[in-house]
C-alpha cells in the first residue's frame, strides 16, 4: 500500500533521513518509534506531503505522492497537537472539514458518539481542554473512512476511557484492512496495537521487526525492556 524507496532529507547540515526504505501493507498497524530527533516525524510529514524529500520516492497504491495531492483524501491524520481556529465551535470544525472533503460517502461518526462530542458541539475550540481537543482530532481522522490512518501519539492527553475507545477503533479498522501508522512513547500501548515496529535512530532504520521478533532472544517478556536490550546489543541466538 505504501512504498518508501531510498528516502533522504536534510535540514541544513542535519541529515534526518538517510536512505530510508520501507513498505507497509493494508491490514497492518505499524508503530514508528525513535529517540527524539531521529526522523520519525519527517517520515510522517513526507507521506503527508508536508515535507519534500531531497531524494527518494514515496508511493501510495502505486501513485507517487509528489505528483499530485488527490491521494491525501485517502489519509486520516491525527496530529500530536491539533491546532484549530480558537473561535470556531466544534460543530463548525466538523462542517468545515466535510465541506473541504466534499465527500458523498457515509461518514464514520462512531468516535463522535463514543467520546460524547455530540453534547459539546457548540463549545468553542479555544475553551477546550487538551484532552477534548485530542478527541476532536481523533474523530476527524476517522470521519471519512480513509484507507490509511496516521496517528501521532494518539492517546496522549486522553483519559483512560477515551484511550480504550480509540485503541478499540484502531483495531476495528485494522480488521477492515485499513493501514495504520502510529507513533507512541507508550510501549504497553505499542505492544497492544502494533504488528511490527520500525525503529529509527539518527535517520536510519535500526530495525523493522514484529513484536515477537523483538522479544525473541532478549529474555524479556515486556517490550520496553526488550527494546532497551536490543539497543544495547544484548540479543541472544
CA distance 146 to 157: 24
Contact 20, 204 (CB under 8 A): yes
Answer yes or no: is 204 within a domain: yes
pLDDT tens readout for residues 47-86: 998 899 999 999 999 889 888 888 888 999 999 888 999 9
Residue 195 lies in a domain: yes
pTM over 0.75: yes
Q: Is residue 237 part of a domain?
A: no
pLDDT tens digit sequence for 181-205: 999 888 889 999 999 999 988 889 9
pLDDT digits (tens, 9 = 90+) for 132-151: 999 999 999 999 999 999 99
Domain hosting residue 219, numbered range: 2-232
In a domain, 37, yes or no: yes
pLDDT at 237: 45
Which pLDDT band holds residue 176 (cuts at 50, 70, 90)? very high
With respect to residue 68, please indicate whether it lies within any of the assigned structural domains: yes
Cα dist from 131 to 142, 144, 176, 197, 203, whole Å: 17, 22, 27, 26, 31
Give the CATH number for residue 104: 3.40.50.300
Count the neighbouring beta carbons within 10 Å of the beta carbon of residue 162.
20
Q: Report d(CA 3, CA 50) in Å as an integer.
A: 17
**How many domains, in total, are found in the chain?**
1
Count Cβ atoms within 10 A of the Cβ of residue 18 and give its class: 0-12 exposed, 13-18 middle, 19 or more buried: middle
What whole-number distance in Å separates Cα of residue 36 and Cα of residue 34?
6
The 3-state DSSP class for residue 229 equals helix
Amino acid at each position: 500500500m505504501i512504498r518508501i524507496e531510498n528516502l533522504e532529507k536534510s535540514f541544513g547540515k542535519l541529515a534526518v533521513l538517510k536512505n530510508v526504505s520501507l513498505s507497509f501493507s493494508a491490514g497492518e498497524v505499524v508503530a514508528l518509534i525513535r529517540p527524539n530527533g531521529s526522523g520519525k516525524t519527517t517520515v510522517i510529514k513526507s507521506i503527508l506531503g508536508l515535507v519534500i524529500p531531497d531524494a527518494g520516492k514515496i508511493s501510495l497504491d502505486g501513485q507517487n505522492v509528489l505528483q499530485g495531492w488527490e491521494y491525501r483524501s485517502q489519509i486520516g491524520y491525527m496530529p500530536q497537537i491539533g491546532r484549530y481556529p480558537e473561535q470556531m465551535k466544534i460543530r463548525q470544525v466538523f462542517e468545515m472539514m466535510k465541506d473541504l472533503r466534499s465527500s458523498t460517502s457515509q461518514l464514520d461518526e462512531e468516535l463522535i458518539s463514543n467520546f460524547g462530542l455530540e453534547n459539546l458541539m457548540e463549545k468553542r475550540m479555544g475553551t477546550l481542554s487538551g484532552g477534548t481537543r485530542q478527541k476532536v482530532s481523533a474523530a476527524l481522522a476517522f470521519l471519512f473512512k480513509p484507507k490509511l490512518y496516521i496517528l501521532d501519539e494518539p492517546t496522549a492527553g486522553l483519559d483512560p476511557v477515551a484511550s480504550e475507545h480509540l485503541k478499540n477503533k484502531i483495531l476495528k479498522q485494522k480488521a477492515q484492512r485499513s493501514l495504520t501508522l502510529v507513533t507512541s512513547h507508550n510501549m504497553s500501548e505499542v505492544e497492544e496495537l502494533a504488528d511490527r515496529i520500525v525503529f529509527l535512530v539518527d535517520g536510519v532504520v535500526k530495525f523493522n521487526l514484529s513484536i515477537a521478533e523483538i522479544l525473541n532472544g532478549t529474555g524479556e517478556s515486556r517490550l520496553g525492556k526488550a527494546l532497551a536490550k536490543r539497543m544495547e546489543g544484548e540479543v541472544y541466538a
